[in-house]
Structure 1
Amino acid sequence: MKQSSEVAVVGGGIIGSAIAYYLAKAGHRVDLFEAGQIGSGSTRAAAGMLGAHSEYKEFGALLYSFARTSQQLYEEAEADIRALTGIDIERRTGGLLQLVFTAEERARLSDICSLEGVTWLDRAAAEKEVPGLTKSLEGAIHIADDVHVTPAIACRGFCSAAKISGARIHAFTRVEGIAKEDGQYRIQTSKGEWQAEYVVIAGGVWSNALLQRIGLGTPMYPVKGECIAVTNTEIPLSCSLFHDQHYIVPRNNDELIIGATKVRGDWSTEPTSGGIHRVMEKARQMLPGIDKMPFLRSWAGLRPQTIDGKPLIGEHPEMKGLFIAAGHQRNGILLAPVTGKMICDLIDGKAVPEVWMEAFRVDRLHTDEEVLM
């Protein structure tokens, strides 16, 4: 006998968990299916920066509002999750220091400096902010609102709050197929069949297998990111350091998270000695004293990258009631709340900014060719 749901969410990383959270809070009957443990994939591997400003070049002026909205939604979600579950998502409010090494680089970043909450620091002021910074700096951009969370804990917070709000969570339950029958979706899982009025595919790069079956080809490929953690008891560091998409992020337990490589098309989840060497070399350029810090561990994760770099968020054009939310690349942690709210608003028939709808349209990347598979 088939079990029934109103909305089936496929994927239990931070994107799927945030979608389940917003839907359950809005009163929907939600079932979330995750092939492994909740938050054990790309979410676990992420650093957790909420870099709406530092990623301004990536988003562009039109989509900056999307990232900024998500950053602000975290403030509301943090308080709500704590009230519902007691979980602290470790939203650390030290901001971010974007390092600048040359006058030419400063000129390229001038549009970021014009944003609210952003301050230019000369080299002396930057060194005062973070003792031990490299002496090679031209200066740095301090971004007060580009804070960070601990991704695995934030994911658990969204998922636990969704469960308390009525969602049912099915870990270690793989979705193997989706088909539409008589106005409902039949969902074949490793633990039996379900039917649902709506389905949301939010499984990161692993969503490709399901997307192929519904005619969207393989619009995503993995970008492997290798990271390191070290123990820091020497340098007072309250903010993240960022340069050229590399970062050093302080955690609450004296750990520094250092990353990350970008290896296109690599499906392996083990770090390599060459990748770790490159990560450490970049970290030394920012904070030379990191060389003396005790090594803790290394790991790798797979970022879901679309062909044009923007996520897929929206309804399938030919399958009413089937939604996709995947392909967030390295900004999945930042964009989780706004993605969850956007999917909820679409299901509820509420207005969503047209520029977002067009930018993330799920059929814009339709391809029958494999992409770095």
Structure 2
Amino acid sequence: MKKHYETAVIGGGIIGCAISYELAKTQKNVVLFEDGAIGRKTTSAAAGMLGAHAECENRDAFFDFAMYSQRLYEAAGRELEEACGIDIRRHNGGMLKLAYTEEDIIRLRKMDDLPSVTWLSAEEALEKEPYASKDILGASFIKDDVHVEPYYVCKAYAKGARRYGADIYEHTHVTAVKRVNGAFCITTSGGDVYADQVAVASGVWSGRFFSQLGLGQPFFPVKGECLSVWNDHIPLTKTLYHGQSYVVPRKSGRLVIGATMKQGDWSDTPDIGGIEAVISKAKTMLPAIEHMKIDRFWAGLRPGTRDGKPFIGRHPEDSGIIFAAGHFRNGILLAPATAEMVRDMILGKQVKHEWEEAFRIDRKEAVHI
């Protein structure tokens, strides 16, 4: 292990790997530390929806950022496959946001003016997806809310970062970060390493670095339980979405179904009640799911914040530390834009002011210093 790097990245999920990739492409001397295996925690638990419209209904800087990141994925997928030979398994069917009540219709139709959104009557929606619930009153069809397979995206970013010269250390636990003689000393289970700048991208586990570096604790876990089933006979091509639940078709023939929202639960093991709730909700969207065979089930810990937005920005008292964490349900969607934003901060480039303000570390809506 080398002793000094220009940038150290803490966290080997999709955010940390994307940051490392973007920095390594600029010839920055980068090291990434992951205390487990790359992409095997929250990233691999995610369904992979690039649901800018599904998750971000307010027309604010967050929505703008999400839409930008969604657009980046098309080029990023091609670039990563060319650089690494890994297909991120983008599925282009789009999404149906289902309406069961008049209140659902009113909320969904607020998106009618967006170019990628089309309102469908119940008959039109069922023409697109005949096996969806007959109880729907209509649906918003969002052609740009496609999905990818998160583990493969993360794996591609990591492989690409290595190809451009980054060092990646798995199963290496970072215990402390502190200032020493103008640099940062990163204490790891493999020894001390020094870096000029540090990017913390450890998801919900980033909170301990906030605390170490004099900030309040802004994160809490939101456990999500999911399962997958084998779909041998239903030609589902679009994601079905209602509330915060979804049925996502994979190229493999499986359907991914999720997810619960259990705030404050640090357990990464699903329980019977959670899986029952997920299945029950899925049957209201796709009744035929009742007859499908279960493939597997799992849980992941989303990094929640008080205002539901990530922290992407510099430590308010030490510009050498950048945080990129707290992406909640949107880490997969926001990875490309987050990586670009962190890269530009580290390189001293201009960052869009609205995004800088929306995600700053010391915003009063999210954290007390």
- For normalisation by structure 1, the TM-score amounts to 0.96
Match of 1:4 in 2: 4
For 2:175 and 2:60, the matched residues in 1 are separated by 39
Q: Higher mean Cα deviation, 128-137 or 147-156?
A: 128-137
For 1:275 and 1:349, the matched residues in 2 are separated by 45
Match of 1:238 in 2: 237
Match of 1:21 in 2: 21
Are 1:221 and 2:215 counterparts? Answer: no
For 2:56 and 2:274, the matched residues in 1 are separated by 26
Q: Is the 8 A contact 1:53 1:115 kept in 2?
A: no
Match of 2:40 in 1: 40
Q: Is the 8 A contact 2:61 2:358 kept in 1?
A: no
Tell me which amino acid in the other structure corresponds to 2:292: M
1:297-336 residue CA offsets vs partner (Å, 9 max, x unmatched): 1100000001111100001011121000000000000000
Match of 1:337 in 2: 336
Q: Is the 8 A contact 2:229 2:294 kept in 1?
A: yes
Q: Percent sequence identity over matched residues?
A: 49
Are 1:285 and 2:267 counterparts? Answer: no
Q: How does 1:1-373 map to 2 (within 5 A)?
A: 3-57=3-57, 59-364=58-363, 365-367=366-368
For 1:111 and 1:182, the matched residues in 2 are separated by 54
Shift of 1:2: 6.8
For 2:196 and 2:144, the matched residues in 1 are separated by 38
For 1:109 and 1:350, the matched residues in 2 are separated by 38
Q: Is the 8 A contact 1:32 1:169 kept in 2?
A: yes
Q: Is the 8 A contact 1:82 1:88 kept in 2?
A: yes
For 1:211 and 1:55, the matched residues in 2 are separated by 26
For 2:240 and 2:60, the matched residues in 1 are separated by 23
Tell me the number of residue pairs that the alignment of Structure 1 and Structure 2 aligns: 367
For 2:62 and 2:261, the matched residues in 1 are separated by 23
Tell me which amino acid in the other structure corresponds to 1:175: V
Tell me which amino acid in the other structure corresponds to 1:9: V
Tell me which amino acid in the other structure corresponds to 2:53: H
Q: Is the 8 A contact 2:62 2:309 kept in 1?
A: no
For 1:62 and 1:316, the matched residues in 2 are separated by 21
SS at match of 1:301: strand
Q: Is the 8 A contact 2:109 2:140 kept in 1?
A: no
Q: Is the 8 A contact 1:2 1:192 kept in 2?
A: no
For 2:330 and 2:2, the matched residues in 1 are separated by 36
For 1:64 and 1:86, the matched residues in 2 are separated by 31
Q: Is the 8 A contact 1:230 1:257 kept in 2?
A: yes
Tell me which amino acid in the other structure corresponds to 2:119: W
Tell me which amino acid in the other structure corresponds to 2:67: R
Q: Higher mean Cα deviation, 309-318 or 348-357?
A: 348-357
- For normalisation by structure 2, the TM-score amounts to 0.97
For 1:164 and 1:46, the matched residues in 2 are separated by 26
SS at match of 2:60: helix
Q: Is the 8 A contact 1:50 1:71 kept in 2?
A: yes
- Gap regions ≥5 residues in structure 1: 369-373
For 2:8 and 2:362, the matched residues in 1 are separated by 21
Q: Is the 8 A contact 2:109 2:119 kept in 1?
A: no
Shift of 1:56: 2.7
- Gap regions ≥5 residues in structure 2: none
Change (3 A) 1:51 1:195: same
Match of 1:371 in 2: none
Shift of 1:348: 1.2
For 1:177 and 1:12, the matched residues in 2 are separated by 17
For 2:19 and 2:111, the matched residues in 1 are separated by 30
